[in-house]
Chain A
């Protein structure tokens, strides 16, 4: 099932592997490398058709300076933070509770409710576009951060519940029973017994949800507009002027926008991988 470790294959295979690996990696990263190079080019290189060759001058300071000091990017970044952090807290908090309820209590319809949460994951979100937009309009939440946060929490809770429920289900049930025998109230069991045990799951889930929400573009353009509420993913498009698109600034902006989730990944790498594999390996 697992691929054979490379150091156990024949010598010429190892050489081939070591030669191909960097090549494939560069090929795979090519679009990202292009964006990075675009971000230090001057605007004139795009009018000259000088897309792929050496930049005619290096404008890194100029371009990134403009992104930070002469555009609305700082506001967009701030919006992204205001949208992402409450969503992470909300979705994780809710799913801890739903996960506890579905994982610990045996009641009629438990499985049915659980399936509803899971099924929610399989709804293609595009079909929700029009109803959700109308709903937020009617509730007065259109073009507010609150509207976006509430929707994200609602939509992410499905996946998060699946995740937490399975994790809590896998805890040794004896711990909970022991607490019950001691006469501990149910909410105290949740707070003092279960929550400390699921801390790794919470960490993993937070990292995952953070990247999901930070990188969301679809709902950002559907539910918000304008500088005040738009997160950075759709804010980057404001570098499209009335007539001209500033490709160099858009590239610089994209790099800046991509940094937080990347840093998050490196800082929390362990949790991230745990999050992706949790439950898949027993």
Chain B
């Protein structure tokens, strides 16, 4: 499953002229740079190879050795290679997914990078996601927004406007249900979609800091504030807001409801836009709004799963790796790799340009200007794996049998005692 692409610099031809401008002042590197990447799907892979070509052109005396590992296999192999034959850079994920590596001393502290002007000024939105114990352990290269994708034509037909408060959200939903539709489609067969709903209602009810504390096991599941989150959620469930039998659909299988107009909206990540567009929902029919505010006292915070680079502690060429990190987060590179014809996601750097895409533009504006509370990583990345697994089962059960809530919370609470 390993693919070796050796990029010796002599081969990296005439494109030298291309990239140097933005990096005036950075000296040319020499020696080696070994990168293990999990960007194995075709488009991400091209992005990774493109970055290496451009970086190599800037540093003609640097030997860059890229190994692409299948995205799923990476999850089992990263522990092996960070604890033995470590590369200089590896891909991974932000937030709690870093904990095992940080705790075991396998990731290098890169707080010094985050003290540089570029990071302080333009990358603040994701700093929290890469911080553990007050230090930063890696850098982001891409993320994407979550939010409510809705059928603009159905909203127009029913005379609805984009809601901004919980009361408006529920009023809209009441009218949608009265028109014989479900407000939201969701497929909870693989559980994680329910995690999205919990994240948002909890972030809006109790705020980002509370959410992170809950994820870190510092707050009881039976806490009245957690119950308040579920009580808010239950208001929607009792209205019949969600499509029936959602526990039998995957998220993709839940899409026909919104495509066929049986449901008016879906809370999902931006990756859902591509299939919805293919299915005929053009930009006139599909639109996006930020999840509404519930408790006016808490700052808005979003889910935006972030993909990252890290330096293993055992790396041999850490200075070269840090220079590559500076290159990855630069506004120019961020614009390039997140464009619609590359990753099709959001750039991290606030100075980057976003592709002219309705949803990317809205997401970029939302995350860079209207998410003062912070950026969460999503339920299954913020909570430790075991807690996330049990938690999401509980969330699905709650959506189907809301009356079981006490039992579910007791169960999660006893799991919390074991896991943390």
* A interface residues with partner B (beta carbon < 8 Å): 43-44, 46-50, 143, 225-228, 241-245, 247
Whether A225 and B73, one on each chain, are in contact in the complex, defined by CB atoms closer than 8 angstroms, is yes
Cα A242 to Cα B269 with chains together (Å): 13
Measured CB to CB, the closest approach of chain A to B264, in angstroms, equals: 16
Q: Is the CB of B252 within 8 A of A47?
A: yes
Q: Is B275 an interface residue (CB 8 A)?
A: yes
Minimum CB–CB distance for B6 against chain A, Å: 19
User: Which chain A residues lie closer than 8 Å to B72 at the CB level?
Assistant: 225
A47 and B255 form a contact (CB under 8 A): yes
B135 close to A (CB within 8 Å): no
- Neighbouring B residues of A244 by C-beta, 8 Å: 252, 271, 274-275
CB distance from A40 to the nearest CB of B (A): 17
In the complex, which residues of chain B have a beta carbon less than 8 angstroms from the beta carbon of A243?
A: 269, 271
Report Cα–Cα, A50/B269, bound state, in Å. 23
Given the known interface contacts A49-B260, A227-B70, A242-B71, the answer about A44 and B250 at a Cβ–Cβ threshold of 8 Å is no
Q: Is B275 a contact of A43 with CB atoms below 8 Å?
A: yes
Could you say which of A48, A143, A225 contacts B279, with CB atoms under 8 Å apart?
A48
A225–B276 CA distance with the chains assembled, in angstroms: 32
Tell me the complex Cα distance, A241–B269, Å.
Answer: 15
10 new A-B contacts, CB < 8 A, other than A49-B256, A245-B252, are A44-B279, A44-B280, A47-B255, A47-B278, A49-B257, A143-B1, A225-B76, A244-B252, A244-B271, A247-B252
Closest to A50 in B: B256
Q: Cβ of A241 and Cβ of B260 under 8 Å apart? A: no
Partner of A47 from B1, B70, B256 at Cβ < 8 Å: B256
* Interchain CA distance A244-B255 in the complex, whole Å: 12
Min CB distance A87 to B, Å, is 22
How many angstroms between the C-alpha atoms of A228 and B271 in the bound complex? 29
Closest to B271 in A: A243
List of A residues within 8 angstroms of B256 by Cβ: 47-50
Closest-CB distance, B71 to chain A (whole angstroms): 6
Q: Is the CB of A226 within 8 A of B73?
A: yes
Q: Supply 30 A–B pairs (Cβ within 8 Å), ascending by A.
A: A43-B278, A44-B278, A44-B279, A47-B252, A47-B256, A47-B259, A47-B275, A47-B278, A47-B279, A48-B256, A48-B260, A48-B279, A49-B255, A49-B256, A49-B257, A49-B259, A49-B260, A50-B256, A143-B1, A225-B70, A225-B76, A226-B73, A228-B1, A241-B41, A242-B71, A244-B252, A244-B271, A244-B274, A245-B250, A245-B252
> With the chains together, A48 CA to B256 CA distance in Å?
5
Q: Give the B interface residue count (CB, 8 A).
A: 23
Measured between beta carbons, the chain B residues less than 8 angstroms from A47 are 252, 255-256, 259, 275-276, 278-279
> In whole angstroms, how far apart are the Cα atoms of A270 and B279 in the complex?
48
Closest to A245 in B: B252
Nearest residue (CB) in B for A246 is B252
A70: min CB distance to chain B, Å: 8
**Neighbouring A residues of B257 by C-beta, 8 Å:** 49
Which residue in B1, B269, B280 is a CB contact (below 8 Å) of A226?
A: B1
Separation of A27 and B84 alpha carbons in the complex (Å): 55
Contacts of B76 in A (CB 8 A): 225
Task: Tell me which residues across on chain A come within 8 A of B1, comparing CB atoms.
Answer: 143, 225-228
Asked if B41 contacts A242 (CB within 8 A), the reply is: yes
- How far does the alpha carbon of A243 sit from the alpha carbon of B269 in the complex, in Å? 10
Inter-chain contacts of A247 with B (CB < 8 A): 252
B259 and A48 contact, CB distance less than 8 A: yes
- Quote the shortest CB–CB distance from A279 to chain B (angstroms): 43
Of all chain A residues, which has the CB nearest B262?
A49
Question: Which of A49, A50, A143, A228: most chain B Cβ within 10 A?
Answer: A49
Measured between alpha carbons, how far is A49 from B275 in the docked complex, in Å?
12
The CA of A227 and the CA of B3, in the complex, are separated in Å by 10
Complex interface: chain B residues within 8 A of A143 (CB):
1
- The answer to whether A48 touches B280, judged by C-beta atoms less than 8 angstroms apart, is yes
Asked if B70 and A226 make an inter-chain contact with CB atoms under 8 angstroms apart, the answer reads yes
Assembled-state Cα–Cα distance A244/B271 (Å): 9
Residues of B within 8 A of A228 (CB): 1
Q: How far is the CB of B382 from chain A (nearest CB, A)?
A: 19
| Chain B 252-294 residues near chain A, CB threshold 8 A | 252-253, 255-257, 259-260, 269, 271, 274-276, 278-280
Measured between beta carbons, the chain B residues less than 8 angstroms from A49 are 255-257, 259-260
How far is B76's CA from A50's CA once the two chains are assembled, in angstroms?
Answer: 37
Find chain B residues with CB under 8 A from A44 CB.
Answer: 275, 278-280
> Please, how many angstroms separate the alpha-carbon atoms of A43 and B280 in the complex?
12
Contact call A46/B260, Cβ cutoff below 8 A: no
**B residues within 8 A CB of A245?**
250, 252
The CA of A243 and the CA of B378, in the complex, are separated in Å by 14
Q: How far is the CA of A133 from the CA of B71 in the complex (A)?
A: 21
User: Nearest CB to that of B72 among chain A residues?
Assistant: A225
Q: How far is the CB of B281 from chain A (nearest CB, A)?
A: 9
Q: Taking the nearest CB of chain B, how far is it from the CB of A235, in angstroms?
A: 12
Distance in angstroms between the alpha carbons of A28 and B257 in the assembled complex: 29
Chain A hits for B271, CB < 8 A: 243-244
Assembly CA distance A276 to B253 (angstroms): 40
Q: What residue of chain B has the Cβ atom nearest to residue A228's Cβ?
A: B1
Chain A residue numbers with a CB within 8 Å of B71 are 242
Q: A53 to chain B: closest CB distance in Å?
A: 12
Min CB–CB distance A222 → chain B (angstroms): 13
Residues of A within 8 A of B255 (CB): 47, 49
Chain B, 1-29, CB within 8 A of any chain A CB: 1
Tell me the minimal C-beta distance from B85 to chain A in angstroms: 16
CA distance A227 to B72 in the complex (A): 12
- Shortest Cβ distance from A225 into B: residue: B73
List of 10 A-B pairs having minimum Cβ-Cβ separation, nearest first:
A49-B256, A226-B1, A47-B279, A243-B271, A47-B275, A44-B278, A47-B255, A48-B279, A44-B279, A226-B73
- Which chain B residues lie closer than 8 Å to A46 at the CB level? 252-253
* Chain A min CB distance to B357 (Å): 17
Cα–Cα, bound, A47→B187 (Å): 13
A244 to B41, CA, bound (A): 12
A244 CA to B274 CA, complexed, in Å: 10
- Give the distance in Å from the alpha carbon of A48 to the alpha carbon of B262 in the complex: 11
B54 → chain A, closest Cβ, in Å?
A: 24
Q: For B279, what are the chain A residues with a Cβ–Cβ distance below 8 Å?
A: 44, 47-48
In the bound assembly, the distance between CA atoms of A190 and B335 in angstroms comes to: 73
